[in-house]
Each structure stands twice: as structure tokens, then as C-alpha cells.
Chain A
């Protein structure tokens, strides 16, 4: 079957999609967007996390046909947001992950970035301020990392949230 949806603001189609194929497979293998990672294919690790109609989901748990007509935003779309011409600048969350040493092998990183982006927009973005560590940990409970031991990741999320909060405060 043919599946058509929007990815990072652009309408895309994939042909010959098998009915049981996951959105993750279509993104990686048919649309050339390998940012979302495939690590478990059973919803356990979160490395395939994307936005689906504004809500985060494990793309390995979504049948591609279910994405028909939907808006998908992947990790590739986080940087695009702040792009200037051909120069794609990293988003606040991405920069904080690099700076704080929250990335080792990087396999878990795309999923964590999307999930963190969502957390910050639901907290700082909604005027609720910087989330407490407990809320950060709960938001990231479905994202597994085998390398970092999580501490640097939590630091990076906090730093990103603080910067976004400062920006929001500055703008107000």
C-alpha cells in the first residue's frame, strides 16, 4: 500500500508498504531518515521515539498505515526548526546534550532528544517552569541508555530546561 504523511513539515509518500510494517521501518528504510534508531522493536527502549500528531510515541509500535495523513516529527526535525539557510543549527536540547557529555555511543540519543523536547514544551513551554528531577526521570523512564548511567542525561535536560526558561523569561 501507499502511505502518505507529513515528516518534519514536508509531505512524503512511501510505496509498497507492507501492512504490518512499522512507522520506524518506513522512516529509516523507505524515507532515508535514519535518525530514529531501532534497538528493540518492542517499545522497551524509546530510541525510536518520534512525535506523532504532537504526542510522543515509539515509532516501532505504530503501524505505518496508522500514520496516514498524520504529522510526524523526528529527531531530524528538532534541528530544522532553528535552521538558517543550509546551516542547520542544533536545538537547545541537542546543544545541552553535547555540552554536558550526555552522549556516548549515541544510540539512545535521538529518542531522548525528542522525549526531552516534549517534556520541556509541556513544562517550561506551558509556563510551568523547570521540571524537578523526579519529573525528568519519569518523563524519560521509557528511554534506555546502556552507556551513560543517566546522570549526565539528567544534567543536560535540566540545563536545556533552564536555558529555555531563561529565554521565555527574557522574551516576556
Chain B
């Protein structure tokens, strides 16, 4: 097994193109588990931690371009205003030691249906930047997850960044697990309201072979939400929203939870995220300067 150590993005892309089977390693928090237990022995590892471009974030148009190799700890510390739901999701990942190393790029590379960043990227309509020696392209997160751990990334491509649109309304993330730390989600959920476009985004994790959206629930809520006044929603609307979210789940029974529980839990999380979002939205109308929309 070879250990390749590119120090520029160009070298990294050339290495991936020359060895499409080589396994990129960033934080290593997924890759090393496989290697330590000899589940998988690739021909080569490509260490991406030396590629400076991947470890940076900065403005991109209205939003933020987050390098694929920025660890969760930095997302929490530095991106709370630019990407509130992603920062919340990052806080819920594993433990401090894992968050110091683990990255969104690695989360997308493994594409576990339970991964914490996926519901947020779906709900906020983020894009995934993929690069190869052939060029760079941006794929909407909503088109990135194709099947169980299967994504739009081609074998010769690396994930270089995610593009996070400027928050234009409340965003929330929540996760259910058996402990407050160190758990793979039984189910997770993200909600993002876009007050400019008057649209709603959702993302559900651990309830289907891939992270998914609840499109009918999004459309329903976009129509019912009081975008001008932020009026508290009817109990029936909140309940219906939760039901529509639950209805798209196609969960399985496993050691972490039953399918029925997951379907139920994701509906409860959806209702809670909605009530937090209404509260945030009302606050932002009263005090527009304290609003995420202006952040």
C-alpha cells in the first residue's frame, strides 16, 4: 500500500486521476476505522491534510465557500453566523477529539445515511464542489446523494468544498441518539426557511438509504407560513407538517432504533424545528438587526 502526500491541490488531483482506486484521507475518522479493523485494504492512501486550499473557508458571492478539509471544531467556532445549522450539526458530531479532525468533506466522501452534515446541506440548498484534472464542477447537494453510500462524485474526483448560501431566515438542526455525545444518529433533521425566496428546505438523515428531503412538506409549509407577519402557526398546520415529513421516511429496523420509532422521531423533530424557527422568525421581525438574515 502506498501513502501519497500531495502538497498542492494540483498534485492531489493528479494523484487521484492516476490512482482512481486510491482512498483519500482527511481527518481519518472513517478511513482509519476501516484500516484498523482490516475491513478494507486500498492500494494507496492520498493524504489531503497537507493541501492548504482544502483547509480554508471564505466568502463566495453572497455565501461562504467552506473547504472540504476544515474540521468541525473550526466550523463551530468560526461559522456560527454564516452557517448556523451546519455549526449546530457539527456540535453534535462525536467528541471533541473527533471534531478536531473530522471534516464535512470526509462526511460527504463516506456519505453515510446518518452523517450529520447531509440534512443541513439539503435543507439549505448548498452545493458540493468536485474537482478533477478534467475541471471543477458544482453539484447541488439535492442531486449529490444517489444511493446507499453512492454519490455524484466520479472516481477521479475529489470533494474540494461546499458552497453555503447566505442564511436568509431561521435554520435548525436536531438529532436523536441514546447519549448527548458520541452517537451515530438514530435520526436527524434540518429545517431552513428562506424569507427572500419564501421557500422552505428540509433534510432527513438515518431514515432512508440516502439523506432525503421532504418536498411535499416543504411546499406545504411555504404556502402556510406567514412570511409577512410571522404569525404563530395553527396547531393543525404544525401537525400536518410533521406528518408530511414522517411520510417520506423509508427507515429500517436496526440496533440503533426501529423503523417505526425513526418515522415517528423525525416527525417530532420537524415539529420542534418548526416551532423554534417561528420563534426566531418573529424575533427577527421585531429586531431585524439581531436576525440571521442580516448576518
- Interface, chain A (partner B; CB < 8 A): 1, 18-20, 22, 41-44, 46, 49, 55-58, 60-63, 65-66, 68, 115, 118, 138-139, 141-143
Q: Which 9 A-B pairs have the closest CB atoms?
A: A142-B95, A141-B181, A19-B3, A41-B36, A19-B1, A20-B35, A65-B3, A61-B32, A55-B100
Q: Distance in Å from the Cβ of A68 to the closest Cβ of chain B?
A: 7
Q: Which residues of B contact A141 (CB under 8 A)?
A: 95-96, 180-182
Q: Distance in Å from the Cβ of B276 to the closest Cβ of chain A?
A: 21
Known: A42-B37, A115-B97, A142-B98. 5 other contacts (CB 8 A): A19-B44, A20-B41, A61-B28, A65-B3, A68-B5
CA distance A44 to B181 in the complex (A): 11
Do A19 and B97 touch across chains, with their CB atoms under 8 A apart? no
Q: Which residues of A contact B3 (CB under 8 A)?
A: 1, 19, 63, 65
CA distance A138 to B96 in the complex (A): 8
Give the residues from 109 to 156 in chain B that come closer than 8 angstroms, CB to CB, to chain A. none
Q: Which residues of B contact A56 (CB under 8 A)?
A: 96-97, 100
Do B96 and A43 touch across chains, with their CB atoms under 8 A apart? no
Closest chain A residue to B44, Cβ basis? A19
Contact A66 B97, CB 8 Å, known A44-B182, A60-B36, A142-B181:
no
Contact of B49 with A by CB under 8 A: yes
Contact of B27 with A by CB under 8 A: yes
Q: Distance in Å from the Cβ of B164 to the closest Cβ of chain A?
A: 23
Do A19 and B45 touch across chains, with their CB atoms under 8 A apart? yes
Q: Which residues of A contact B96 (CB under 8 A)?
A: 56, 115, 118, 138-139, 141-142
A-B contact pairs, 11 of them (CB 8 A): A18-B1, A43-B32, A43-B33, A43-B95, A56-B96, A61-B97, A63-B3, A63-B25, A63-B32, A115-B96, A139-B96
Q: Which residues of B contact A65 (CB under 8 A)?
A: 3, 5, 45, 47
Closest chain A residue to B42, Cβ basis? A20
CA distance A160 to B41 in the complex (A): 43
CA distance A82 to B203 in the complex (A): 51
Closest chain B residue to A42, Cβ basis? B33
Q: Which residues of B contact A60 (CB under 8 A)?
A: 32, 36
Give the residues from 1 to 55 in chain B that come closer than 8 angstroms, CB to CB, to chain A. 1-3, 5, 25, 27-29, 31-33, 35-37, 41, 44-45, 47, 49
Closest chain A residue to B181, Cβ basis? A141
Q: Distance in Å from the Cβ of B64 to the closest Cβ of chain A?
A: 22
Contact of B73 with A by CB under 8 A: yes
